[in-house]
Amino acid sequence: MKILVGQTNPTTGDIRGNLDRIRACLKDGRRADADLAVFPAWALTGYEPRDLAREAGFLRRQQNALAGLVECSGDLPVLVGHADSKGTGRCVVSHIWDGRCRRIGGVGAPGWVRIGDVRLGFTVEGLPDKTARDCDHLLSLEPRPFRLLEHGEWAARCAERARRKGAPLLHVNLVGGNGEAVFAGGSALFDAQGRRVARAARFAADSPLFDTQETGHAPAGSVDEVADLHAALKLGLAEFLHKNGFRDAVLGLSGGLDSAVVAALAADALGPDRLAALVMPTRFSSIASVQAAEQIAANLGIECRMVEIERLRQEFEAALVPVLGGTERGTAEENIQARIRGAALMAYANKYDAMTLATGNRSELAVGYCTLYGDMAGGLAVIGDIPKTWVHRLAQHINREEEIIPPFVIERPPSAELKPGQTDQDDLPPYDVLDGILELLLDERLDEGEIAQRGFEQSLVADVAARVKQSAFKRRQAAPALQVYSRGCPWPRLPTAGMLVVPRGEEALRDG
């Protein structure tokens, strides 16, 4: 059987545009003399339309689109995922052929369909199992978002299921971004022995023709995890702006590693003419940092504007003397400059219709080492799900062909530069240690005792876990982060600080 794979990039709610993308694929299928065209769950409506899928007007437009598919499909059978017309909000699959559109399965209701002499079993969540017992071919129509920590796991599951069922298995994926989710494409066909024999393009829309009689191995593709992560972040960033109606972006460029990496990603994803950087030093900013920021902007070819905020910082502190006077200088005063920077970025964004990109990483966000309404300000946290140790890897990847980020920026100790001589390690453990604990706590879901058994100091584990819980209120107010690293939700619903006693003090968090 020759199957046209509709690996499309739909936009949620844009039924007309999604229909046009499907029609374009069907033209390819008819030219290639395909036996069947298959599109993944939510291909017609866009990924997870949520409440839209319960609105009468939306469902009416969807019904009209299905009727349009009936007209344009001709004699090519089509399987397409869309919202349940009953308004349940669930995804269903329709079989379009011979002038008819027939619902044949959906979420919680795996189905099967006969195409000629071939019986196909399919699901829109997970992999076909019991319901596909007597099927000749298996289809998984569940879109799978990119996750670095799950690299290769889904392909292994597909291969195992094909072997166990003794039938070819095709997984059809979406591509593109949808909010925080990023879909990498890479739809794949596995033969009855579990060998991957064909694969669609990654990080791009594609409509290949797969033959279930095909033998041999498909190229394994990229095994460079950093390159994959880089590609996923670029795709997710570009898609987030485009699908939210933004053309341009702005960020604060401090001369530090995080903002340098985000700037490089954004310039690559959007084009340097669509990105602006503000450099906003105070007396605590080192000359080296300012020069590094200007050098990074020059290397990327992006607009760079200097905004002197030292006078504003002083005036702000002077105005707050009636509130803060007579107290020891500390976190409250330090964070004033971060909040001035946030206000400047948002002013630029408002004036020039740009989206502000927050530049904090997952390690900082997890333990609250960030400032509400300051460096957390923005519409998208590009690396908000990326541990600091992986930010370093991304920087090395960005510099693989030419020096974009000066080595000084990569090698020097990280610092927020909110007070003289400050480094992150004044308040935090080394990032390789912190990230090791966070991965076990957040991704592996181990408790503190189990983490300590992995070789981490018990008191340090307890402190990190307490900070994660204490800073939950901050993460609820953070910009959405592209979810490309963590296993599922990056912030499991751990008890918050209000539900248990945790140490608290200026030394624990940069911002209370």
Domain extents in the chain: 2-221, 227-424+470-499
The backbone torsions φ and ψ at residue 392, rounded to the nearest 5 degrees and listed phi first, read -60, -40
Q: What does the pLDDT average to over 238-258?
A: 96
What percentage of the chain carries pLDDT values higher than 90? Answer: 81
CATH code at 2-221: 3.60.110.10
* Cβ count within 10 A of residue 397: 17
Instruction: Specify the pLDDT at position 199.
Output: 95
User: Which residue has better confidence, 487 or 506?
Assistant: 487
Q: Quick check: do 2-221 and 227-424+470-499 share a fold?
A: no
Mean pLDDT of the region 265-278? 98
pTM over the 0.75 mark:
yes
Per residue in 299-330, pLDDT tens? 999 999 999 999 999 999 999 999 999 999 99
- Quickly state the pLDDT bin for 271 (edges 50, 70, 90): very high
Query: Which are the contacts of 252, defined by CB distance < 8 A and separation ≥ 6?
Result: 259, 277, 278, 279, 280, 341, 344, 345, 359, 375
Instruction: Tell me what pLDDT residue 504 has.
Output: 37
Sheet holding 196-199, edge to edge: 111-115, 118-123, 137-140, 169-171, 188-190, 196-199
Structure-block tokens of residue 112: 């099967």
Report which residue type is found at 500. Answer: L
Range from 129-133, 384-388, 392-396, 437-441 carrying the lowest mean pLDDT: 129-133
Per-residue pLDDT band for 110 (boundaries 50, 70, 90) equals confident
The CATH number of 227-424+470-499 is: 3.40.50.620
Report CA torsion sign: 228, 233, 236, 238: negative
Structure tokens of 480? 């959405």
Name the residue with tokens 């196909």: 120
Answer whether 42's CB lies under 8 Å from 82's CB: yes
Tokens (6 digits) for 15:
């039924």
- pLDDT higher than 60, residue 441: yes
